[in-house]
Amino acid sequence: MKRRGFIALLAGGILFWLRGIGDAVCNPSLVRLIGRGRQLAQMRAGRGPTLGNYFLQWYGHSSFLIHSGSQTKVVADPNFNVTPGIQADAVTVSNDHFTHNNTGAVTGNPIILRGITFRQTWNPIRTSVKDITIVNIPSQRGVGWGGVANSIFIYEMGSLCIAHLGNIGHLLTAEQEKVLQRVDVMMIPIDAMTNLGFEDILRVIERVKPPIVIPMHYDVVSQGELFAGFAREHYPIRKIEGSQLTLSRAALPKSTEIFVLKHPRTSIFGE
């Protein structure tokens, strides 16, 4: 069976019960557990929290701090460069490589949400941590990793929807595209070595059409510049002077733009 066909069959079989998730996750008022009708996030009355306090902080590689307006903190894919002692309410792990699963660097007794099992199979996550709702969908790493599982995490907070693709190694299936259609901010790996090549990265972006794309999973600044140079013929490139990005719905571009955050480890890897 061809690789694309196998991925489509596997993901389709697992995702059939998630068909309605695109209408549920990233709903600013209510998120329900698909197929069971149980609330994941409580109804938020009134106008909801101000979005100006929402931000993402990049720690390098694929590691981010996701910070909500009520100061809920979720660390995605903590790696060896995450500042030891950072506090968070939860940690999500997309795959079990040591550059993504350094959960011991995060303090505050966080909930650990592993997107794959120790047997390297998908581990479904559907939960809420204070005002951030977290779900995941199955995917896979590249051919060189033998089809090992990868987990795409989706975070809903306020009226914003954020997707972290982990170490995705294939084009999106039709089911995955449906789930990701309401994504506002998408973090995607651009190393073009163990994951997707540049052309396939652009194909994924085109299918999802998120307002903001944040390149990740690179440790040398020049790699980010190389990708930006390749992508600028297709999308506007916005270079951010810091490694933190404040989020608000009003500030979302009307069409897709690529936001290249300043690499937090330039003193190590150089310009």
pLDDT 10s digits, 209-248? 999 999 998 888 888 899 999 999 999 999 999 999 999 8
User: Residue 68 and residue 54: Cα distance in Å, rounded?
Assistant: 5
Helix, strand, coil share of the chain (percent; to 5) = 25, 30, 45
Where does the pLDDT of residue 116 fall: very low under 50, low under 70, confident under 90, or very high at 90 and above?
confident
Q: At what angle do helices 198-208 and 221-231 cross, to 10 degrees?
A: 60
Which of 19-23, 81-85, 166-170, 243-247 is most confident? 243-247
CA count, 13 A, side-chain hemisphere, 34: 19
Hey, which residues does 116 pair with through a beta bridge? 122
Q: In the numeric block, which tokens belong to residue 222?
A: 């020049």
Overall pTM > 0.85: no
Q: Which of 80-94, 165-179, 200-214 has the lowest mean pLDDT?
A: 80-94
Q: What is the mean pLDDT of residues 120-140?
A: 90
Residue found by looking up tokens 């936001």 in the block: 259
Residue 109 has pLDDT above 70, yes or no: yes
Residue 182 reports pLDDT greater than 60: yes
pLDDT over 80 (residue 48): no
CB 249 within 8 A of CB 160: yes
Which residues have C-beta within 8 Å of that of residue 92, sequence separation ≥ 6?
A: 74, 75, 76, 77, 113, 115, 125, 134, 136, 153, 164
Q: How far is CA 218 from the centre of its chain?
A: 15
Does position 34 have pLDDT exceeding 80, yes or no?
A: no
Total length of the chain: 271
For residue range 244-271, what is the model confidence (pLDDT) as tens digits? 999 988 889 999 999 999 988 754 433 3
Arithmetic mean of pLDDT, 31-35:
39
pLDDT tens-digit series, residues 60-102: 888 999 999 889 999 999 987 666 678 999 999 988 777 777 8
CB 90 within 8 A of CB 134: yes
Distance (Å, whole) CA 86 – CA 105: 7
Average pLDDT over residues 160-178: 91
Answer yes or no: is pLDDT of 148 > 90. Answer: no
Whole-number percent of the chain with pLDDT over 90:
44
Comparing 244 with 34, which gets the higher pLDDT? 244
- 105 phi and psi angles, rounded to 5 deg: -80, -10
What per-residue confidence (pLDDT) applies to 143?
61
Q: What percent of the chain has pLDDT over 70?
A: 73
pLDDT band at 26 (very low <50, low <70, confident <90, very high): low
Residue 20 confidence class, pLDDT cut points 50, 70, 90 = very low
For the chain, the average pLDDT equals 79
219 vs 126, which has greater pLDDT? 126
Torsions phi, psi for 174 (to 5 deg):
-60, -40
Residue 79, sorted as left (phi over 0), alpha (psi -120 to 50) or beta, turns out to be beta
